[in-house]
Amino acid sequence: MSILGSESLTRRRYAAGSWDTDGVFVAGTATNSSFSGSFQPLNGEELATLPEGERAGDQRKVYTQSALRTTDQAAGVQADRVSQDGTVFYEVRQVERERAVLPHYKARLVRVQETA
Is 31:13 a contact under the CB 8 Å cutoff? Answer: yes
| pTM confidence score | 0.85
pLDDT digits (tens, 9 = 90+) for 84-110: 988 889 999 999 999 988 899 999 999
Rg (CA), the chain: 15
Provide CATH code, domain 7-111: 2.40.10
* Alpha carbons 45 and 58: distance in angstroms, whole number: 15
Apex 8 CA angle, 7 and 10, nearest 5: 135
* Alpha carbons 39 and 109: distance in angstroms, whole number: 10
Confidence of residue 21 (pLDDT cuts 50, 70, 90): very high
Q: Which residues contact 96 (CB under 8 A, 6 or more apart)?
A: 105, 106, 107
pLDDT digits (tens, 9 = 90+) for 58-77: 899 999 999 999 999 888 89
**Could you state, in order of their start, the residue ranges of all structural domains in the chain?**
7-111
